[in-house]
Amino acid sequence: MTTPKPTTGLDRLRGLQARGLLEKDHPTVAALLADEALTDTDLLRAGRLLAGLDHDAVLTHHPGTPVVTVAVTGQSTVGRVLDPLRAELARHGLLLRATVGEHGTYVRDLAQPQGSYDLTLCVLDAETVFSEVPVPWRAADAERATTEVLRRLAALAGGFAGLLVLNTVPLLRRYTHQLVDHASRAELGIVWREFNAGLLRLAAAHPAVVVIDLDPLIAEGGPAADPRMAAYAKEQLAAPLLAAYAREVGHLARSLCGRTRKALVLDLDNTLWDGILGEDGPEGIAAAGTLRGEAYGGFQKVVKQLGSQGVLLAVSSKNDEGPVLEVLRGHPDMALRERDFVSVEAGWRPKDGALARIARRLGIGADSLVFADDSPAEREQVRLGLPEVAVVPLDDEPALHVTRLLRDGWFDTLTLTREDRARTGQYRGEGERRALRERAGSHEDFLRELRVGVELGPPRAHEYARLAQLTQRTNQFNLTGLRLRQHELAAVPLLLAARSTDRFGDNGLVGAVAGRYADDGLHLDNLWLSCRVLARGIEQACLSALLAHARERGLPAVYAGFRPTRANARARDFYPSLGFAETGHGGTEGEAVIFRHDLGVIPAIPGHVRIDATQLGSGKDGG
């Protein structure tokens, strides 16, 4: 007798395809691909299957589905990257629209105007260099070729419009060992590392360039190339390496779409320490001093490292709260302490509810959470109850916790800002604000006592990275869904940054305005405000200041647009609430709603907000 194999996410995906429901049920695809039972090969199969997806039909059923446009080019055959890339993007709820260049055409491809692609992947391999090295050759010939390739890429990167994704290039034994003496071999090794370092430096020099380092991917398990595929099909990077590369590109695409996760919620027993607190007692658990304990301690340090870079840490544990807090405060083994967490949910209720409470308390969506737990039952409960949460499967092998946690780069971001590093402190200030809110009689009382100060003005030189990040991470109060990268900010005619403070501290750069002056008035192309400071009157204060400024300048009107996205529905009435009138839908932009303010009655700046400084620019010449 055979027991039937359990139905996997891939089986169910095939079922959807067979019944013609892939497009209609597209929002479930990401959850099906999150099935822990799927192997890497299954994921490739899913990517193949999704090649048949009718994008137009998906977008008809679900107009908000983000589409990522990708151009793929390279020296060699790289078409095989598409299946894994399609699957990786689908895991994050993104649709892939890709075009692939012929092999050997990367220089031509990159020199053409790129405007319409979100990402351009230029896949580099050893042949990119060695196709320019004569036979016979010496290390100095390789150096000439690497210098030339670097020079060419730097020139292409200089005028690049979209985001150009390059990669470091694996050095293969079939090249090093063509040189029989160790001195020459070492020389080639140096040339090659300098080539890769030069590639990595391109990213520092050009904001439009990202370089994916293949070394750590190969270190997880090669080989980097299949000589047969290289010889017969010009496929210079092995298919599994291309798949690992696609996974990294998926993380990048996710962060470009504003889907970088913001908080990591951790179980405790057998996740952060060895043992079960409720059964073994504080003396019976370990995160140091024993072999397994050390492994848990190592995991705690990695979690702390993530926390230091702006990832908010929280706990969801089936335990009594008292003993948990005692351990976090006083147990000698802990690398993580109570102050490292912005929220500790210890109790006996289901974890999906605990995660929802954590998200609410932090003012972020459940789709910003990552949840790590060693218990399959708890993971399943969260997956079913709160499917937007990304779930990291841990098990009873703590030495693998770090690998599993980092496997998906859930928190990957293009650049890290000063605000990121201070974020945990800011959210802890949030706890004090919450206490004030509970003490205060009404929301108005709370706001009055909060003593909000706002400063609105042109960005300072060091603020551009944070501004770009704000546009990419802000979903709820992003009035058109627009996201800008750092190098695109310079092209915005009127760009303003909003910084806020309150009695509990400095909130840093929390908002942005993109606009332009035209003959018919001031056009506000978009507003962004961090969800951390929503509903404190900051958005109203900034708008009032802008309207007053426009009237002072004698402008005829202020125009503003709103385009619904999956997350900004609550901001739909923002402009009307300040006296803007709807003037219709904007021509080609389909669903955008255009508002106009005639500057007759300017809404007052909310009484509890202190505008500390405003500098709104003097027109087309900025200032």
Partner 1 sequence: MSPDSLGTLDGFLRLVRDDLGLVTDLAGPEAAGCDLTDLPGWDSVNLLRLVTLLEQESGRAMPVGRILEARTLGEIYALVEDLR
Q: How far is the CB of 19 from partner 1 (least distance, A)?
A: 15
Q: How far is the CB of 74 from partner 1 (least distance, A)?
A: 14
Residue 77 lies near partner 1 (rule: CB under 8 A): yes
Q: How far is the CB of 52 from partner 1 (least distance, A)?
A: 7
Residue 62 lies near partner 1 (rule: CB under 8 A): no
- Grouping H, G, I as helix, E, B as strand and the rest as coil, residue 383 is helix
Residue 228 lies near partner 1 (rule: CB under 8 A): yes
Region of residue 5 (phi > 0: left; psi between -120 and 50: alpha; otherwise: beta): beta
Residue 483 lies near partner 1 (rule: CB under 8 A): no
Q: What is the dihedral of CA 240, 246, 248, 250, to 10 degrees?
A: -150
Q: Which stretch binds partner 1 (CB under 8 A): 21-29, 74-82, 88-96, 437-445?
A: 74-82
Residue 80 lies near partner 1 (rule: CB under 8 A): yes
Please check whether residue 197 is in contact with residue 208, taking contact to mean a CB–CB distance below 8 angstroms. no
Residue among 10 and 172 whose Cβ is closer to partner 1: 10
Q: How far is the CB of 245 from partner 1 (least distance, A)?
A: 16
Residue among 77 and 486 whose Cβ is closer to partner 1: 77
Residue 609 lies near partner 1 (rule: CB under 8 A): no
Residue 104 lies near partner 1 (rule: CB under 8 A): no
Residue among 231 and 491 whose Cβ is closer to partner 1: 231
- Scanning residues 233 to 252, which ones bind partner 1 (CB under 8 A)? 233, 235, 239
Q: How far apart are CA 99 and CA 132, in angstroms?
A: 26
Q: How far is the CB of 47 from partner 1 (least distance, A)?
A: 9
Q: How far is the CB of 260 from partner 1 (least distance, A)?
A: 31
Query: Where does residue 600 rank: exposed (0-12), middle (13-18), buried (19+ CB within 10 A)?
Result: exposed
Q: How far is the CB of 403 from partner 1 (least distance, A)?
A: 23
Q: Is the dihedral of CA 204, 209, 212, 213 positive or negative?
A: negative
Please check whether residue 121 is in contact with residue 165, taking contact to mean a CB–CB distance below 8 angstroms. yes
Residue among 51 and 190 whose Cβ is closer to partner 1: 51
Q: How far apart are CA 432 and CA 423, in angstroms?
A: 15
Residue among 103 and 428 whose Cβ is closer to partner 1: 103
**DSSP-derived secondary structure for 501-548:** EETTEEEEEEEEEEEEEETTEEEEEEEEE-GGGTTSSHHHHHHHHHHH
Residue 41 lies near partner 1 (rule: CB under 8 A): yes
**How far out from the chain centre does Cα 157 lie?**
23
Determine which helix (DSSP H) or strand (DSSP E) holds 253, and give its type and residue range: helix 239-256
Residue 57 lies near partner 1 (rule: CB under 8 A): no
Q: How far is the CB of 80 from partner 1 (least distance, A)?
A: 6
Q: Which residues pair with 317 in a beta bridge?
A: 346
Residue among 235 and 430 whose Cβ is closer to partner 1: 235
Distances (CA, A) of 196 to 171, 219, 291, 493, 622: 10, 16, 38, 37, 41
- Measured from the Cβ of residue 527, the count of other Cβ atoms closer than 10 Å reads 28
Residue 182 lies near partner 1 (rule: CB under 8 A): no
Q: How far is the CB of 65 from partner 1 (least distance, A)?
A: 21
Please check whether residue 335 is in contact with residue 298, taking contact to mean a CB–CB distance below 8 angstroms. no
Q: Are strands 369-373 and 263-266 parallel, antiparallel or unpaired?
A: parallel
Pick the binder of partner 1 from 3, 6, 18, 52 (CB under 8 A): 52
Phi, psi of 285 (to 5 degrees): -100, 155
Please check whether residue 558 is in contact with residue 515, taking contact to mean a CB–CB distance below 8 angstroms. no
What residue ranges in 279-319 does DSSP mark as E strands? Answer: 312-318
Please check whether residue 398 is in contact with residue 273, taking contact to mean a CB–CB distance below 8 angstroms. no
Pick the binder of partner 1 from 15, 79, 393, 603 (CB under 8 A): 79
Pick the binder of partner 1 from 31, 107, 229, 422 (CB under 8 A): 229
Q: Which stretch binds partner 1 (CB under 8 A): 77-85, 133-141, 383-391, 504-512?
A: 77-85
- Scanning residues 382 to 411, which ones bind partner 1 (CB under 8 A)? none
Please check whether residue 30 is in contact with residue 389, taking contact to mean a CB–CB distance below 8 angstroms. no
Q: How far is the CB of 17 from partner 1 (least distance, A)?
A: 9
Q: Which stretch binds partner 1 (CB under 8 A): 46-54, 110-118, 331-339, 511-519?
A: 46-54
Q: How far apart are CA 343 and CA 359, in angstroms?
A: 10
Residue among 52 and 322 whose Cβ is closer to partner 1: 52
Q: Which stretch binds partner 1 (CB under 8 A): 41-49, 62-70, 213-221, 487-495?
A: 41-49
The H-assigned helical ranges of 8-165 are 9-18, 29-33, 40-50, 55-61, 82-91, 106-111, 126-130, 139-158
Residue 448 lies near partner 1 (rule: CB under 8 A): no
Q: How many positions of this chain bind partner 1 (CB under 8 A)? A: 18
Q: How far apart are CA 11 and CA 32, in angstroms?
A: 9
Q: How far apart are CA 321 and CA 343, in angstroms?
A: 12
Please check whether residue 569 is in contact with residue 504, taking contact to mean a CB–CB distance below 8 angstroms. no
Q: How far is the CB of 264 from partner 1 (least distance, A)?
A: 35
Q: Which stretch binds partner 1 (CB under 8 A): 112-120, 224-232, 372-380, 572-580?
A: 224-232
Q: Which stretch binds partner 1 (CB under 8 A): 226-234, 267-275, 468-476, 553-561?
A: 226-234
Pick the binder of partner 1 from 25, 83, 373, 420 (CB under 8 A): 83
Residue 82 lies near partner 1 (rule: CB under 8 A): yes
Pick the binder of partner 1 from 12, 45, 337, 357 (CB under 8 A): 45
Q: How far is the CB of 100 from partner 1 (least distance, A)?
A: 9
Residue 5 lies near partner 1 (rule: CB under 8 A): no
Pick the binder of partner 1 from 1, 219, 231, 377 (CB under 8 A): 231
Please give, one letter per residue, the 3-state secondary structure of 154-202. Answer: HHHHHCCCCEEEEECCCCCHHHHCCCCCHHHHHHHHHHHHHHHHHHHHH
Q: How far is the CB of 432 from partner 1 (least distance, A)?
A: 55
Please check whether residue 240 is in contact with residue 341, taking contact to mean a CB–CB distance below 8 angstroms. no
Residue among 44 and 386 whose Cβ is closer to partner 1: 44
By the criterion CB under 8 A, which residues form the site for partner 1?
A: 41, 45, 48-49, 51-52, 77, 79-80, 82-83, 228-229, 231-233, 235, 239
